[in-house]
Chain A
Amino acid sequence: MKKLSFILLLALVVHLVVSIVFILDPPFLHSTRLSTVYKTYLLPGPFFTESRIINNYALHLSWKVNGQWLPPINPARDNFNRYHARFNPADLYRSRLDRTFYLRLFLKPGLSTAEIKSRKEFHQFRQYLYDQHVPKEADSIRLTIINKQAKNSGLSVDTVYVVVSK
């Protein structure tokens, strides 16, 4: 049993040393597979990182009926507010799903509107919107992505994408 104890002690020391290396996060380890696996499964975090909380993206969805654009809705925001009204976590999960659909599509750097519309993710998202929110009589949808950024105790708002699709 002494041998087993020694092996476990060694394993613990190695794990602690490796963890400290990943916590210090040297640049040469950033994109390695070991780093990804370790930081995803063995050392989850960090949480509330700067890159995730300084920028915020909202989707405004509008559709055209009889040649007229109707007032936009923000499904993720509506579900988020519904969660706070009812405290039902299912609403929060729905809000996260709504956000994931557009974040995975519009946060890819350097994509033109035409490129976005040609991606598989866009068609999945469009289908989801039609099934969930857009009425059958609508002949087009318009997606507006707005970026809010907080810096120096102030907010800046910018329209990042406007995509119109049949």
Chain B
Amino acid sequence: MILISRYQTYFSNFLQAENHARLITFFCKPLYAFLFAKIIFLWPVLHDSVRYLPYEFTSPLRHVIYAPIKLAQFDLNAFLISTLILLLVAMVIRINYFTSALIFWLSFNLSRLAFPVANGSDYVLNLFLFLSVFLPVAPSFKSASLRNAQHIISNFAFLLCRTQLALIYVLSGFDKMTSNAWRTGDAVYSIINLDYFINPRLSISFNETVYTMLAWAIILFELSFPFLIWFKQFRVYVLVAGITFHIGIIFFLSLPDFGTVMIITYCLFIPEQWIIRHKGSCQVDPDSYRDET
């Protein structure tokens, strides 16, 4: 009982602590930039996707949730240009509820529209864009108690973002550990030798022991990341290992979108002092986020 009470106090203190304004900006704006770049590269393919694999509205609820798809089906260029303009504005102004919510909704619709080319990166992006709706504290309420509630919800959403990132690794690591192909190294052999994964300019061949060792290194990384990342003394090493891992995915496994979005999520764990050191380039006024109660 004492332990539960202690954790509850610790949790309450975390929620009441100073808002992670700089980290939130440092996390959200790269996500917007990523979505911006994704739309640019998707543009020609989306035209074919909409033309040959049109989305069908099968229930009244979908007419509401996927309303932006109607605009896309009517005029795809108008839909994409307006989304790009919104992203540009959101990258310049302060993170707020309205742009965050709108960007999530449009991104969610874009993924539905582009489902033939969607992959894990779309799910990760949309998950964090959804959580980012609760991260801002602007515009703030006039009432002190409501402002305090905004602040608590923002800190909770920030903690949830970190937790989700850790859970993604737990899920992937656990799945690989329970898979015979991963435990024996066959999965790595398969990735290296089958089409559409490995960079075709590379010619890689190892013996079975190396495949097994590589597979276990990946499993151990994915299972240790979600635990070690919470300890300050390991955080930098784990982040460096993670960035290396995902750069490998970008260049060797032909998944630039997935690798990039995972690296962006690491902004959640960047030590805040690093960003303070680059305050000038960050252009965030921390006082504007601080709770005044």
Contact with A along B194-232 (1 / 0, CB 8 A): 111101110000001001000000000000000000000
A5 to B48, CA, bound (A): 48
Q: Contacts of B123 on A, CB cut-off 8 Å? A: 40-41, 44-45
Interface of B is mostly: helix
A53, B168: Cβ atoms closer than 8 Å: no
Q: Residue B174 contacts which of A8, A15, A16, A23 (CB distance < 8 angstroms)?
A: A23
Cβ of B282 under 8 Å from chain A: no
A8, B8: Cβ atoms closer than 8 Å: no
B116, A43: Cβ atoms closer than 8 Å: no
A48, B191: Cβ atoms closer than 8 Å: yes
Q: Contacts of A12 on B, CB cut-off 8 Å? A: 11, 156, 159-160, 163
A148 to B195, CA, bound (A): 9
With an 8 Å Cβ cutoff, the count of chain B residues facing the other chain is: 66
Seed contacts A6-B8, A15-B160, A43-B171; 18 additional CB < 8 Å A-B pairs: A9-B8, A19-B171, A23-B171, A45-B123, A45-B171, A46-B172, A48-B176, A53-B190, A54-B187, A56-B190, A84-B199, A89-B41, A90-B42, A90-B45, A100-B117, A128-B48, A150-B193, A153-B211
24 contacts between A and B (CB under 8 A): A5-B15, A5-B16, A6-B8, A9-B8, A12-B156, A16-B163, A23-B170, A24-B174, A45-B172, A46-B171, A46-B174, A48-B187, A50-B182, A53-B194, A83-B254, A90-B42, A93-B45, A96-B45, A97-B48, A100-B116, A128-B52, A148-B194, A153-B186, A155-B193
